[in-house]
Amino acid sequence: MARQATRIRRESKAGLDEKGDIVVCLSPGKKNSGIEMEIESTVKSLFGEQIRASIREIIEEYGIADLKIAVRDQGALDYAIRARVQTAIERALKECE
């Protein structure tokens, strides 16, 4: 049986706009739009693909579909990126209840 995708219905945000951190902003996407990701990073030329992969992995763990995600990275380490994405998702899901 196929698992139904989770959808968020509200915007959420996590993180700080400071050196060594990342701001993650989530908003619902249109039905069947998939995951739209916008990354602004001081280290995008070096780590852009790793940042994208880490974000996508967390989103897929939650089974979320149709999502817009915008991030402003100030050189955050991978564990911080993952934690901020997870926190933003948890906030978006909690607000939907």
pLDDT tens digits for 5-61?
A: 788 889 999 999 999 999 999 999 998 889 999 999 999 999 999 999 999 999 999
**What pLDDT score was predicted for residue 2?**
43
Q: Which amino acid is at 2?
A: A
Q: Which amino acid is at 28?
A: P
Query: Using the 8-state DSSP alphabet, how is residue 69 labeled?
Result: E
Is pLDDT at 97 greater than 70 in this prediction? Answer: no
Is pLDDT at 62 greater than 60 in this prediction? Answer: yes
**What pLDDT score was predicted for residue 1?**
41
**What pLDDT score was predicted for residue 12?**
96
Query: Using the 8-state DSSP alphabet, how is residue 4 labeled?
Result: P
Is pLDDT at 4 greater than 80 in this prediction? Answer: no
Prediction pTM value:
0.90
Q: Is 76 helix (H, G, I), strand (E, B) or coil?
A: coil
Domains of the chain, first to last: 12-96 (3.30.230.10)
Report the alpha-carbon distance of residue 69 to residue 86 in Å, rounded.
12
Report the alpha-carbon distance of residue 25 to residue 72 in Å, rounded.
9
How far from 85 is each of 6, 13, 31, 38, CA to CA, in Å?
A: 15, 9, 21, 13
Residue that the structure tokens 């998702």 belong to: 89
